[in-house]
Amino acid sequence: MKVTIIGPGLIGGSFALALKKRLEGVVVYGWDQNADHLQEALDLGIIDHMAVSLEEALQKGDWVILAIPVNAIESILPKCLDGLKAHQILVDFGSTKKSICAVADKHTNRAQFIAAHPIAGTEYSGPQAAFPGLFEDKVMIVCDETESSAEAITGFRKLCKMIGMSTTYLKAAEHDVHLAYVSHLSHVIAFGLSNTVLKQEESDEHILDLAGSGFASTVRLAKSSPDMWTPIFLKNKRAILDSLENYLDHLTHFKSLLESEDHEQIRAFLEKGRAIRKILK
Amino acid sequence: MKVTIIGPGLIGGSFALALKKRLEGVVVYGWDQNADHLQEALDLGIIDHMAVSLEEALQKGDWVILAIPVNAIESILPKCLDGLKAHQILVDFGSTKKSICAVADKHTNRAQFIAAHPIAGTEYSGPQAAFPGLFEDKVMIVCDETESSAEAITGFRKLCKMIGMSTTYLKAAEHDVHLAYVSHLSHVIAFGLSNTVLKQEESDEHILDLAGSGFASTVRLAKSSPDMWTPIFLKNKRAILDSLENYLDHLTHFKSLLESEDHEQIRAFLEKGRAIRKILK
């Protein structure tokens, strides 16, 4: 089986490594607009061949995986779809799906395209961050699956299963709202906390010396790549703004409770929030 | 050596277990206003003897550790100081220090008291959450140390070193401002996120099925005990409100950048926040 990875970084690279680990005879072709990253992916054994151009890379794989920022996916998608041969299947791994599906839906080769989002990641990025176990026991979301051919979906589900992933299906618009709440908002929050504490440290320089594991956990996602996250925020703007407004309302409510020292209501706010432990173990 | 733990839960219990692991002949007396917790601490081998009353517990230890909510520390502190015998040292482990020190400062036995805060913890609570390694390689903050006798401070630093902790010194007021930024604010943020997502789930019930490790990390502190955290928020109200207002300003700024789709400035906001990775490894 031949696989092309466009963007062999954390996500694309881990997918390649997982396939190589689970399947005999996988040959991986890679392309990246960053030549250093591409060389690194080769040196690390993530890819077997560096394509000389995006065009060449697109021709090589039975499976072609787009694991690049969501704005880049959207802009190269028509070209990728144009050149597909009958046996090729194109999959994107972007974290937003609505605008990507809108582009794909207009194309005659739509049935050869799968809009997917693996719910897996770390705060690190690039080929060096890739590892074969990233996707084990994780969920692959497939959006608007009835727009893809049944054959493509069946084949992709098998690939996912082989690397330890279950598959779930969602409308693209629903996906974007869900993910705004359970992923994108957490990133906004972490970047906001990081900015707040770093700014405070300018006037009080050893403030971070006393940070414990709680702060580290809350701020962790602020280490994520701006290249990936700027486009995600922009592409999922409406749903993220809605979730952010709801979040700001909750914090402003807490602030007024604290200002008025409303012991009972503060406690109730914490008890309500604490119910998350029944859901997240 | 005899040690009394008032509140043998996550913090007090872990301190007892660490001492027992590192030192021969430690005998631990415990008291808790929750009789079930006290029995649990005995059953788990955290304490060796259950005191029948707070009064009895206070008389037993060469070291008396207060590891209970900060409002409870403040209210029993005068009584604890009143009854100290000449060889006894009283230590509190509260997460806020200014108002506790203000109570202690008025007392004639102030020199036998140490205002301390171990920078260690998890999102769990109670005796079952205690473990002997909690304090290894962590920092013990001691506040207003010149108000304590040099002998008490030297002895306490030795105890901390024995269980793997370094000791650092801060004014109580400074401590409370620092901790607002690097600990208390993270808890407010997590409780706010948890409330937001749980509320959204009422109308969109499977939203949490798709939560990944990023959400879990950001929301983790919302599992913390409301018994501990309601008093911390109230006791450190001013500093927490300041940090929360700064945080809300940063998020509101981000919101306006996203509304106007200011690609460059969003990216700059993320790049600035990402600098946290140089500090937190």
Sheet holding B139-143, edge to edge: B49-50, B27-31, B2-6, B63-66, B89-92, B113-119, B139-143, B166-170
Taking CA atoms, B33 is separated from B6, B50, B184, B253, in Å, by: 9, 11, 25, 46
Q: Are residues B11 and B146 in the same domain?
A: yes
ipTM of the complex as predicted: 0.92
Q: Are residues B152 and B57 in the same domain?
A: yes
pLDDT at B206: 76
Q: Taking CB atoms and an 8 Å limit, are B272 and A198 in contact across chains? A: yes
Domain boundary residue among A170, A187, A217?
A170
* CA–CA dist B180, B149 (Å, integer): 28
Q: Taking CB atoms and an 8 Å limit, are A251 and B188 in contact across chains? A: yes
pLDDT at A281: 65
Q: Taking CB atoms and an 8 Å limit, are A181 and B200 in contact across chains? A: yes
A113-119 vs A139-143, strand pairing mode: antiparallel
Q: Are residues B152 and B191 in the same domain?
A: no
* CA–CA dist A55, A225 (Å, integer): 26
A27-31 vs A2-6, strand pairing mode: parallel
Q: Are residues B156 and B189 in the same domain?
A: no
Question: What tens digit of pLDDT does each residue of A92-131 get?
Answer: 999 999 999 999 999 999 999 999 999 999 999 999 999 9
Between chain A and chain B, the number of residue pairs with CB atoms below 8 A apart is 288
pLDDT at A209: 80
Largest CA-CA distance found in chain B, in angstroms, rounded? 67
Taking CA atoms, B202 is separated from A1, B199, B207, B218, in Å, by: 45, 5, 9, 21
How far away is chain B from the Cα of A90, in angstroms, using its nearest Cα?
Answer: 23
Q: Are residues A38 and A157 in the same domain?
A: yes
pLDDT at B125: 94
Taking CA atoms, B222 is separated from B100, B193, B203, in Å, by: 25, 8, 21
Considering only residues 42 to 81 of chain A, which have any Cβ-Cβ distance to chain B shorter than 8 Å? none
Domain boundary residue among B170, B197, B231?
B170
Q: Are residues A97 and A119 in the same domain?
A: yes
Considering only residues 215 to 244 of chain B, which have any Cβ-Cβ distance to chain A shorter than 8 Å? 215-224, 226, 229-230, 233-234, 237, 240-241, 243-244
CB B91 within 8 A of CB B156: yes
pLDDT at A203: 79
What's the CATH code of the domain at A264?
1.10.3660.10
Sheet holding A63-66, edge to edge: A49-50, A27-31, A2-6, A63-66, A89-92, A113-119, A139-143, A166-170
| Range name among A158-172, A199-213, B91-105, B110-124 with the lowest pLDDT average | A199-213
Q: Taking CB atoms and an 8 Å limit, are A182 and B212 in contact across chains? A: yes
Taking CA atoms, B151 is separated from B88, B103, B146, B148, B164, in Å, by: 11, 22, 11, 8, 20
By residue range, what is the domain housing residue B248? 175-279
Considering only residues 199 to 218 of chain B, which have any Cβ-Cβ distance to chain A shorter than 8 Å? 199-200, 204, 206-218
Which residues fall within 8 angstroms of residue B96, CB to CB, at 6 or more apart?
A: B70, B176, B179, B232, B235, B236
B89-92 vs B113-119, strand pairing mode: parallel
pLDDT at B281: 65
Q: Which two tokens stand for residue A250?
A: 């909750």
* A120 near B CB under 8 A: yes
CB A25 within 8 A of CB A3: no
* CA–CA dist B272, B206 (Å, integer): 34
Interface test with B, best of A276, A277, A279 (most B CBs within 10 A): A276
Q: Are residues A107 and A184 in the same domain?
A: no
Q: Which two tokens stand for residue A230?
A: 């700027």
Q: Which two tokens stand for residue B26?
A: 């430690």
How far away is chain A from the Cα of B124, in angstroms, using its nearest Cα?
Answer: 10
Q: Taking CB atoms and an 8 Å limit, are B196 and A263 in contact across chains? A: no
Q: Taking CB atoms and an 8 Å limit, are A255 and B246 in contact across chains? A: no
β-partners of residue A143 are A115, A170
Residue in B with minimal Cα distance to A200: B181
CB B269 within 8 A of CB A187: no
Nearest to A241 among B220, B248, B259 (CB): B259
Which residues fall within 8 angstroms of residue B102, CB to CB, at 6 or more apart?
A: none
Mean pLDDT throughout A28-57? 98
A27-31 vs A63-66, strand pairing mode: unpaired
Q: Taking CB atoms and an 8 Å limit, are B222 and A189 in contact across chains? A: no
CA–chain centroid gap for A26, Å, is 24
In B, which residues are within 8 Å of A204 by CB distance? 177-178
* CA–CA dist A207, A197 (Å, integer): 8
How far away is chain B from the Cα of A163, in angstroms, using its nearest Cα?
Answer: 18
Q: Are residues A238 and A165 in the same domain?
A: no
Residue in A with minimal Cα distance to B166: A210
pLDDT at B202: 85
Indicate the helix (H) or strand (E) that contains A140. strand A139-143
Q: Are residues B238 and B110 in the same domain?
A: no
Reference A236, options A10, A70, A66, A63; nearest CA is: A70
Q: Which residues of chain B have pLDDT under 70?
A: 281
Q: Tell me the pLDDT band of A17, cut-offs 50, 70 and 90.
A: very high
* CA–CA dist A52, A48 (Å, integer): 13
Angle at B62 between CA B58 and CA B68, to 5 degrees: 45
Q: Which two tokens stand for residue B126?
A: 């109670």
Mean pLDDT over all residues of chain A? 96
Reference A228, options A64, A41, A94, A76; nearest CA is: A94
Alpha helices in chain B (DSSP H): 10-22, 35-43, 54-60, 70-82, 98-105, 150-162, 172-179, 185-203, 213-219, 226-235, 237-259, 263-274, 276-279
pLDDT at A280: 79
β-partners of residue A118 are A140
* CA–CA dist A41, A224 (Å, integer): 20
Q: How many domains does chain B have?
A: 2
Q: Taking CB atoms and an 8 Å limit, are A218 and B223 in contact across chains? A: no
Q: Are residues B252 and B125 in the same domain?
A: no
Q: Are residues B194 and B241 in the same domain?
A: yes
* CA–CA dist B136, B122 (Å, integer): 13
CB A167 within 8 A of CB A71: no
Q: Taking CB atoms and an 8 Å limit, are A223 and B198 in contact across chains? A: no
Phi/psi region, residue B144 (left: phi>0; alpha: psi -120 to 50; beta: rest), is left
**DSSP letter at A11?**
H
What's the CATH code of the domain at A109?
3.40.50.720
Which residues fall within 8 angstroms of residue A260, CB to CB, at 6 or more apart?
A: none
Q: Are residues A215 and A236 in the same domain?
A: yes
Domain boundary residue among A170, A191, A216?
A170
* CA–CA dist A29, B176 (Å, integer): 55
Question: What tens digit of pLDDT does each residue of B197-254 get?
Answer: 999 988 777 778 888 899 999 999 999 999 999 999 999 999 999 999 999 999 999 9
